[in-house]
Structure formats: C-alpha cells, structure tokens
C-alpha cells in the first residue's frame, strides 16, 4: 500500500475516532443554521430571507470559524508527534519526510472537507426547504461555491498550521503561534488595511488595494463569495472596496490555491531541514 495513503488513512481515522469530524460538523451546522435564520436581524426581520443576505452572513461565519478549526486541528501534527516520540520513529521508516507531510495533509484535508460538506450542507438543505423567496437553482450555485471555498479556506489554514508545526520546538508554543495567525488574518489584517486607507485619504488606489486583499486568504474567500451580489456591498466590509472588474474569479481561485500550495512547500522544505 502506498505510504502516503497509509498515513492519510490513519490521520483520517484518528479524526473520526477523536470525534473531530463529528464535532466540526455539528458546530458548523448549528452556527450556519442560526446565522442564516438571524442573518437579517439587522434589517428588522428574522427567518431565511434573501440569498445574498444568507451567503454574506455565512461567509462571515466561515471566515471566523474555519481558520480557527483548521489551525487547532493541525497545529500539532509534527511537533506533537515529536513529543510522543513517534516522529523520530517514523523518520526511520521507509518513507520520506515529504511523504509523511503529504499523508498528514491528505488526512486532515479529507477530514476538513467532509465536516464542511456535512455541516454546511445540512444547513443548506434546511435553508432550501424553509426559504420561500429564494430561487433553488441560484441557491445551489451560490451555496456550492460557498462550500467549495470554505473547504479551500480550511486547507489554507491546515497548510499554515503545518508551517507552524514544523517550525516549532514545543507544542505549547505552536498553539500560541497558531492563534496569533488566526488573529492576524481574521482581525488585524483588515484593520491595518482600513487604517491605511483612512490615513492616506483613499490615495492607495483601487488597483493596489485589490491586490493587497490577495495577501489575506480570508479576504480572497470573501471576494469570491460576495463577488456575485451587488446588493451585498454594504455588508461585505472591505471586500466591497475592491474593484471586482479587476480581480477576475480565476485570479481569486488561483490565489486561494497558491495559499495552500506555497505554505505546504515551505513546510516541506523546513521539515527536511529540521534537526530531529
């Protein structure tokens, strides 16, 4: 059996057994249902309202939860094995370090994908059943895109978690850095951009601003999901400032993929250099 596959299966089974998959699924499903039900509360209504409101609310939820879950899930994958004494053992087995990392990524990625699909998917079915004004075809397209990008967003942060894990000597430190990364991308980055915008009196220019958003995977996620809705600009935060004509969907999707591939490659490189 392929070594990468053996590692991936073990990670995935661990995830099922530790109830990670079940836990993430339930959390995502419950929050998604609640958020889409109360999402329109700001405009004075409750219940499943327009598709755009629902997707905007769900995107904010996903940006908040998915990176956090992915980081917690994967931050200890290397440094944790080292503390158990199993890392050094695995490295004496006939598998390369990159294969170990690839196997772990495949396992974690599958867990994250399954949980996201089940969690957000079940909420989606409920929305489809209970909302009267939403066109089912439109919902299906928008919602599929939402789930797909949520999965990719999860993978981005799994990759970042590996980067943290291979570069940390202690588990406790790795968890601290992982939380900082979450905080930086989910809160600080946008705040800084906003500050830049205000301080320069908007002189940064739409062009540059759009490209700067690509430096934050959560903003890319937002741009993809909100891009289709004109009505959502007020609620979509910073993403609404970017010129949607300039940043093509292709650019956005490939940037999101780059956010998975590049951290993984750096992690593999650092892992190879790590003295165990």
Partner 1 sequence: MSVEAIHFEHVVMNFGKVQALNDISLQIGQGQVVGLLGHNGAGKTTSIKIILGILRPTFGTVRVFGYDPANDVKMAALRKQMGYLPENLSFYPQLSGRETLQYFARLKGAGRQEQEQLLDEVGLLHAADRRVKTYSKGMRQRLGLAQAMLNQPKLLILDEPTVGLDPVATRDLYDKIERLKQQGTTIILCSHVLSGIEEHLDRALILSAGKILAQGSIDELRNQAQLPMTIHVRGKISNQDWLDKLSSQGVSTQRINSHQYILSAAVDRKLSLLQALAVENEIEDIEINLPTLESIYIHYNTQSLAGSDEPCKQGGNAR
In the complex, the residues that contact partner 1 under the rule CB under 8 A are 1, 3, 6-7, 10, 14, 17-18, 84-86, 88-96, 275-276
- Residues 6 or more apart whose Cβ sits within 8 Å of residue 225: 55, 59, 142, 145, 146, 149
CB closer to partner 1, 96 vs 244: 96
CB of 83 to partner 1, least distance (A): 8
In DSSP notation, 128-151 reads: HHH-SSS-HHHHHHHHHHHHHHHH
**CA dihedral for 45, 49, 54, 56, sign (positive or negative):** negative
CB of 163 to partner 1, least distance (A): 21
CB closer to partner 1, 108 vs 222: 108
- 3-state secondary structure at position 211: helix
Tokens of 28: 């995502």
CB closer to partner 1, 170 vs 206: 170
CB of 125 to partner 1, least distance (A): 32
CB 165 within 8 A of CB 148: no
CB of 7 to partner 1, least distance (A): 8
CB closer to partner 1, 244 vs 274: 274
CB closer to partner 1, 93 vs 269: 93
CB 67 within 8 A of CB 157: yes
CB of 86 to partner 1, least distance (A): 6
């Amino acid at each position: 059996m392929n070594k990468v596959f053996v590692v991936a299966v073990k990670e995935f089974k661990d995830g099922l057994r530790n109830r990670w998959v079940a836990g993430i699924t339930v959390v995502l499903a419950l929050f998604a249902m609640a958020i889409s039900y109360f999402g329109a509360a700001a405009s004075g209504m409750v219940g499943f309202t327009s598709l755009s409101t629902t997707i905007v609310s769900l995107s904010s939820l996903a940006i908040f939860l998915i990176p956090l879950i992915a980081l917690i899930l994967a931050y200890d994958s290397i440094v944790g094995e080292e503390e158990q004494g199993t890392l050094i053992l695995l490295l004496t087995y006939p598998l390369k370090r990159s294969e170990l990392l690839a196997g772990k990524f495949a396992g974690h990625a599958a867990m994250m994908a399954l949980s996201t699909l089940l969690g957000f998917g079940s909420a989606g079915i409920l929305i489809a059943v209970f909302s009267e004004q939403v066109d089912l075809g439109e919902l299906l397209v928008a919602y599929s895109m939402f789930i797909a990008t949520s999965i990719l967003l999860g993978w981005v942060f799994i990759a970042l978690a590996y980067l943290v894990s291979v570069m940390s000597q202690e588990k406790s430190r790795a968890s601290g850095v992982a939380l900082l990364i979450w905080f930086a991308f989910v809160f600080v980055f946008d705040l800084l951009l906003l500050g830049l915008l205000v301080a320069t009196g908007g002189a940064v220019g739409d062009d540059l601003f759009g490209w700067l958003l690509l430096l934050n995977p959560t903003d890319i996620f937002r741009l993809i999901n909100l891009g289709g809705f004109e009505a959502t600009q007020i609620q979509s935060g910073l993403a609404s400032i970017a010129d949607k004509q300039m940043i093509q969907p292709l650019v956005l999707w490939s940037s999101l993929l780059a956010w998975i591939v590049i951290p993984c490659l750096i992690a593999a490189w650092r892992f190879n250099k790590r003295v165990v």
